[in-house]
Structure 1
């Protein structure tokens, strides 16, 4: 995009300079542009030795070309007829901005270089102005115009910088998505070099273990959480995917919790890198329970902290079928009485303690517990002494208790 300068005001001091004197000043300045450009480049090299200078097709430094174009464009602005601003394309200055992205730097040093160039240019133009007798007020206005011109060059570099940064970010996201796809696939038969190569493209160190999660966006336009470059995040998916390397590293879980405040989702258990897909499947299972209201829905939960719920609540149909067979003896009991017997039976199965211990746990009298236990033995008979039978009953009763605990808040909220 071309950089332009506003014309001088009709009643300005520069506008009052005789045209012949302006032409003389401009011709003198243009004649000195090559030498001035060389001087500016030398000073830049001395002051900023870390900067690299690309060459154009003729082998000339692009920086020197850009400096000459900038100086010539500014001087020719002074010769524009009827005060209309001269137009000069400054693609080279956009390239400077893109180079800063390529070299991993901010625009600070580049802007400092521009300020150095303007300072040296103004010194030379001031000398020329004295030689050809341009009035000082007109030269002051010329200095203001020079800084305005500098702003335009900076804008060009910022534009180039932003375009290059966006392209680099987009490329990294594309490479990161390809890496995540491979990590989450069954890549055990793929050459180890494939994974290592894709990881190197985004400077990701292959970990020994990973946890994989799925996130739920607080809002469709939510900004990606600042998880850091060591954690892979795919915001392009409907439910953003996240891969956490070596999740049991000290402090990583706590750091992730604070980073994901306001988000919801599930993080699968730690698994070897080759089994990352398994961690993802557990996260998907947890998310399914969250959407059904069987797990908390207002946080990012870790599957390792909800193993019982994931095991017992995920296979709902199987648990219900097992419950019909294991709890059949309670069918002929009144609902309230049946529920009390079930609570007592679960307390006995979990503790295998005596009546006093169970009574303390349930908050009832020991004699009440003894009465219920006799009823339980009458209802189940010898089945209650079978280890497999007791395990199945305990499994069902634990699942039912989990459902009651998770469904109660949902029903209250309704």
Structure 2
């Protein structure tokens, strides 16, 4: 019917109506606009009593202004010589859409209100058309043009709605990042670094923050994003599978900050039933680490362990290609993190191997570790290493010659096992069969 949205085509029944009759129709319609706008608003309020009333600076309802301007724009359009371009009251209807978005409502109710307004307006326009004897085919085209005009108004509201939704989403993310910054701040809790002995344990649901008022600030920020403060949390650090990777769908309860090079997340109540499985599904395609569950005030400790695990993953010392849990890799995190201290201890403990040659020294080290772990005789050690018992006896004699009585001292045995396990974790020793 139309050559462009909202305008009547040149070849149409409406264009065959004499100009004088069109002008008469437009004049009568414009005279009716104020009262018609009031009637439409009154009917809308009757059918949608919960609709908020927003006033402009002069105290007039914004909805009434929008209805009046929409009616005037449509009448002016149909009265123009060439059908005109739709004359939408842009800001008013964009503001209606923004209002729906800001109040958390969908656009369905707003569109229903628009359709109600169009039906009421059409009844009055049809009466005017009959009054001045405009042919029915022309009025049918006018009705179709009215619904096209309605589509334009809806488009403006959708645009305002989208703008409001984007602003709200951006504001929520900003507030969420602020909440995470406070939650993960080292100054909030005990300045101690924490150890894997803390994994799965804590001193209470809410340890005293490190600074006065920190707890109330946390309450305030959590309330602003609608996040209920949990008793325990686990903090994750992620490695992006690609630079433009879409954020994982971790759910609303999980705080997620995608703005950092390595995204972070705070998982509330990580031990809750089904939580690990839900996270595994949500994190498919991602890799990273989730720190141990800790009391809320100790969230920074969980973050540190997750960061340490990610560093080991990047070095190839922990499995990559998945999101792992620090509590499942405690040995590696304990023995591989304080690298300088472990290496210094290894140099002192393993000094007797310095003159054995690399290959033979490695075999002796593997035999010593197997013996320390089994506390058994040659047959048990041989079975663990997959070699002949006589070979083990020979190596054990060499070990006793190299270390002497030190291998009988419990403290020395502990240090030897510790440094040898660390070397095995680094791939410097073979794993027992």
Same-fold call, TM cutoff 0.5: yes
Tell me the alpha carbon deviations over residues 262-295 of structure 1, each in whole angstroms, 9 at most, x when there is no partner. Answer: 1122221112211211111112211211221212
Tell me the alpha carbon deviations over residues 322-353 of structure 1, each in whole angstroms, 9 at most, x when there is no partner. Answer: 22221222233243333222222111111212
Work out whether 1:189 is the aligned partner of 2:198: no
Tell me the alpha carbon deviations over residues 1-29 of structure 1, each in whole angstroms, 9 at most, x when there is no partner. Answer: xxx96432222111111011101111222
Corresponding residue for residue 39 of structure 1: 39
Corresponding residue for residue 116 of structure 2: 116
Corresponding residue for residue 104 of structure 1: 104
CA positional deviation for 1:146: 0.8
1:355-394 matches, within 5 Å, as: 355-394=378-417
CA positional deviation for 1:406: 11
TM-score normalised over the length of structure 1: 0.92
SS at match of 1:265: strand
CA RMSD of the aligned region, Å?
Answer: 2.1
Corresponding residue for residue 191 of structure 2: none
Residue from 331, 341, 347 that aligns with 2:364: 341
Distance in 1 (alpha carbons) for counterparts of 2:76 and 2:84: 11
Tell me the alpha carbon deviations over residues 88-107 of structure 1, each in whole angstroms, 9 at most, x when there is no partner. Answer: 43311111111111221111
- Are the aligned partners of 1:262 and 1:299 in contact in 2 as well (CA < 8 Å)? yes
Distance in 1 (alpha carbons) for counterparts of 2:285 and 2:57: 53
1:253-272 matches, within 5 Å, as: 253-272=276-295
- Are the aligned partners of 1:5 and 1:77 in contact in 2 as well (CA < 8 Å)? no
CA positional deviation for 1:405: 8.0
Corresponding residue for residue 140 of structure 2: 140
Distance in 2 (alpha carbons) for counterparts of 1:368 and 1:216: 46
SS at match of 2:227: coil
Distance in 2 (alpha carbons) for counterparts of 1:210 and 1:125: 63
TM-score normalised over the length of structure 2: 0.88
Distance in 2 (alpha carbons) for counterparts of 1:190 and 1:259: 37
Residue from 333, 354, 379 that aligns with 1:331: 354
CA positional deviation for 1:82: 4.1
Distance in 2 (alpha carbons) for counterparts of 1:405 and 1:335: 11
CA positional deviation for 1:369: 2.6
Work out whether 1:159 is the aligned partner of 2:182: no
CA positional deviation for 1:355: 2.6
CA positional deviation for 1:357: 2.3
- Are the aligned partners of 2:73 and 2:89 in contact in 1 as well (CA < 8 Å)? no
| Unaligned 5+ runs, structure 1 | 409-414
Residue from 312, 315, 326 that aligns with 1:292: 315
- Are the aligned partners of 1:66 and 1:90 in contact in 2 as well (CA < 8 Å)? no
CA positional deviation for 1:396: 1.1
1:181-330 matches, within 5 Å, as: 181-185=181-185, 186-187=187-188, 188-191=210-213, 192-330=215-353
- Are the aligned partners of 1:80 and 1:86 in contact in 2 as well (CA < 8 Å)? no
CA positional deviation for 1:161: 0.7
Distance in 1 (alpha carbons) for counterparts of 2:377 and 2:46: 89
Corresponding residue for residue 10 of structure 1: 10
- Are the aligned partners of 2:10 and 2:82 in contact in 1 as well (CA < 8 Å)? no
Looking at secondary structure, tell me which structure has more helix per residue: 1
SS at match of 2:317: coil
Tell me the alpha carbon deviations over residues 52-87 of structure 1, each in whole angstroms, 9 at most, x when there is no partner. Answer: 221223333221221111111101112224443363
Structure 1 residue ranges, 4+ long, deviating more than 6 angstroms after superposition = 405-408
Work out whether 1:59 is the aligned partner of 2:59: yes
Number of residues paired by the alignment?
Answer: 405
CA positional deviation for 1:120: 2.1
Q: Tell me which moved more, 101-110 or 42-51.
A: 42-51
Q: Tell me which moved more, 46-55 or 147-156.
A: 46-55
